[in-house]
Amino acid sequence: MTNSVPTLTLNDGHTIPQLGFGVFKVEPTETTRIVTDALEVGYRHIDTAAVYGNEEGVGQALASSGIDRSELFVTTKLWNDKQGTQSALDAFDESLEKLGLDYVDLYLIHWPAPANDKFVESWKTLAEIRKSGRARSIGVSNFLVPHLERLLTETDVVPAVNQIELHPAYQQAEVTAFAREHGIHIEAWGPLGQGKYPLLEEGVVTAAAEAHGKTPAQVIIRWHLQTGNIVFPKSNRRERMAENFDVFDFELSHTEFATISALERGGRVSAHPNEVN
């Protein structure tokens, strides 16, 4: 099943598996077991963050899996209170150590935290880290257009990705159009609505699921893949991990895709990026 995950080419030439596994809210004590399950199911792309507190568990699962490093894609993120130059370098070292890796595939600024006004400085630091080879690619998360504009005008490095809250009921048209225009791939977090928005019960979703003999979650993941989003749904349950990975044997029709896209309601379920500092 592993080989069936498509890869996308980032603006720095590196490739990323379009479907991965996220570990937000995975308890540190359970992380090794859960990530081991995910790797056994076939996931090769893991999305974590320093603030999730579970990088060590991720690292242990990777190390004991026996999977060649070159087959894995690992993302982690710089937390807000570590933004800056030396603090970001130190935080990156700590993440690498906890993960037990000598490089990560992708390192992200977790939130712009604009009240601190350190995201441009942090971005320059990430560019240095990338130059050193210890992060193959670098990107940002939860950046809105004005934040991205500052990176583009004040530095000469374009983020490879912007990881943002995105699902059919909240598609972030403005930031996704800006990203597309500048060659920045979109990673959709909360792809299933985090259970806070009843996406899986929407009639157009359940109808498409029935038509294809798939589940509503598989339909939503398929919508993301067909949109071009990079996506890493999270579940602690192995059967759901397998369900979320089994999305490459069907395709939403043009009509199904359009009716699901019409679920847009324009409301985020999580915090506004300007308010997380």
Residue 59 touches ligand NAD, criterion: CB under 6 A: no
Q: How many chain residues bind ligand NAD (CB under 6 A)?
A: 24
Shortest distance, position 146 Cβ to ligand NAD, whole Å? 18
CA-based Rg of the chain, rounded to a whole angstrom? 18
Start-end of H helices in 55-167: 55-65, 86-99, 119-131, 145-154
Q: Which residues are catalytic?
A: 52
Residue closer to ligand NAD, measured from CB, 60 or 80: 80
Shortest distance, position 187 Cβ to ligand NAD, whole Å? 8
Residue 233 touches ligand NAD, criterion: CB under 6 A: yes
- Residue pair 165/190 in contact (Cβ under 8 Å)? The answer is yes
Question: Which range binds ligand NAD by CB under 6 A, 84-92, 148-156, 235-243, 258-266?
Answer: 235-243
Q: Which residues pair with 161 in a beta bridge?
A: 185
Distance, in Å, from the CA atom of 99 to the CA atom of 121, rounded to the nearest integer, reads: 25
Tokens of 157: 């490095």
Virtual CA dihedral for 59, 64, 69, 72, nearest 10 degrees? -70
Instruction: Classify 151 in phi/psi space as left (phi over 0), alpha (psi -120 to 50) or beta.
Output: alpha
Residue closer to ligand NAD, measured from CB, 141 or 171: 141
Residue closer to ligand NAD, measured from CB, 18 or 244: 244
Residue 259 touches ligand NAD, criterion: CB under 6 A: no
- Which secondary-structure segment (H or E) carries 171? none
Shortest distance, position 189 Cβ to ligand NAD, whole Å? 3
Question: Which range binds ligand NAD by CB under 6 A, 31-39, 65-73, 185-193, 205-213?
Answer: 185-193
Q: Which residues ranging from 156 to 175 are in contact with ligand NAD (CB under 6 A)?
A: 163
Residue 24 touches ligand NAD, criterion: CB under 6 A: yes
Q: Which residues fall within 8 angstroms of residue 276, CB to CB, at 6 or more apart?
A: 80, 111, 113, 142
